[in-house]
C-alpha cells in the first residue's frame, strides 16, 4: 500500500459510548497506508477496563505502535514521526484523567490544541459527545459535561474534517475546504 499524503492534518471522530467511533477511526488510519501510532489515554482501573483494553489491542492487531499515556499529550504527540499517522483514543478519557488528577483543565486543553496544530504528522482524535443527555444531578458531572463540550468545540474548530458516528454509521459534519 502506498503512503497517502493527501489527508487532513487533524480529523475528529465524535459519537456516544459504543457508537462505533473507535472502529471507524481505526479504519480511517488504516486507509492512509502510513505507519500507525496509537495513543491510548485509558487506564485499566478494574477488570472490566482491562478486558476492554485487551480487546481493543487484539482488534487493532500488531501493526500499531502503542503509546499508553493518560495525561501528557504533548510528549505523546511529539514522539511521533512525520511519516506516521496518530490515532488518539480518546479525548474523553484524557479529560477524565485530568479531572481526577486535579489538573487545570483550561490550561491543559489550550496546550493540547496548540500541540495538535504543530503535530509532526496527521492525527485522528476520538471523543465522546456527552451533550445529548439530561443535565447531570451533581456538580462534578456537570463540570465534566461543560469541559467535554468545550474541548469538543475547540477540536472541531481546528479539525479539517469532523465525523459523528451513530450506531456505526458515520455522518460527515465538516469537510476540508
Domains identified in the chain and CATH numbers: 11-174 (3.40.50.300)
Cα separation, 129 vs 159, in Å, equals 16
61-65 contacts at long range (C-beta below 8 A, 24 or more positions apart)? 63/36, 64/36, 64/37, 64/38, 65/35, 65/36, 65/37, 65/38
Q: Is the pLDDT of residue 153 over 80?
A: yes
Task: Supply the pTM of this predicted model.
Answer: 0.94
The answer to whether residue 56 is catalytic is: yes
In tens, the pLDDT along 84-130 reads: 999 999 999 999 999 999 999 999 999 999 999 999 999 999 999 99
Is residue 30 within 8 A of residue 142, CB to CB? The reply is: no
Question: 45-76: b or e for each residue (b if 16 or more CB lie within 10 Å)?
Answer: eeeeeeeeeeebeeebeeebeebebbbebbeb
Is residue 17 within 8 A of residue 167, CB to CB? The reply is: no
List the one residue out of 62, 63, 88 whose CA is nearest residue 75. 88
In tens, the pLDDT along 42-79 reads: 998 899 989 988 888 888 888 999 999 999 999 999 99
Catalytic residue among 16, 23, 56, 71: 56
Q: How confident is the model at residue 132 (pLDDT cuts 50, 70, 90)?
A: confident
- pLDDT above 90 covers a percentage of the chain that reads 81
Q: How confident is the model at residue 1 (pLDDT cuts 50, 70, 90)?
A: very low
Amino acid at each position: 500500500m502506498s503512503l497517502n499524503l493527501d489527508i487532513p492534518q487533524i480529523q475528529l471522530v465524535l459519537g456516544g459510548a459504543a457508537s462505533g467511533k473507535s472502529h471507524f477511526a481505526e479504519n480511517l488510519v488504516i486507509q492512509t497506508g502510513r505507519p500507525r501510532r496509537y495513543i491510548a489515554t485509558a487506564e485499566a482501573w478494574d477488570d472490566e477496563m482491562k478486558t476492554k483494553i485487551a480487546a481493543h489491542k487484539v482488534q487493532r492487531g500488531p501493526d500499531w505502535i502503542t503509546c499508553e499515556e493518560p495525561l501528557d499529550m504533548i510528549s505523546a504527540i511529539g514522539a511521533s514521526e512525520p511519516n506516521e499517522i496518530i490515532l488518539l483514543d480518546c479525548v474523553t478519557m484524557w479529560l477524565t484523567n485530568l479531572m481526577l488528577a486535579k489538573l487545570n483543565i483550561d490550561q491543559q486543553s489550550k496546550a493540547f490544541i496548540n500541540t495538535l496544530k504543530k503535530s509532526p504528522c496527521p492525527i485522528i482524535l476520538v471523543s465522546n459527545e456527552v451533550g445529548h443527555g439530561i443535565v447531570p444531578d451533581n456538580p462534578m458531572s456537570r463540570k465534566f459535561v461543560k469541559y467535554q463540550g468545550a474541548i469538543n468545540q475547540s477540536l472541531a474548530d481546528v479539525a479539517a474534517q469532523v465525523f459523528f458516528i451513530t450506531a456505526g454509521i458515520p455522518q460527515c459534519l465538516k469537510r476540508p475546504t
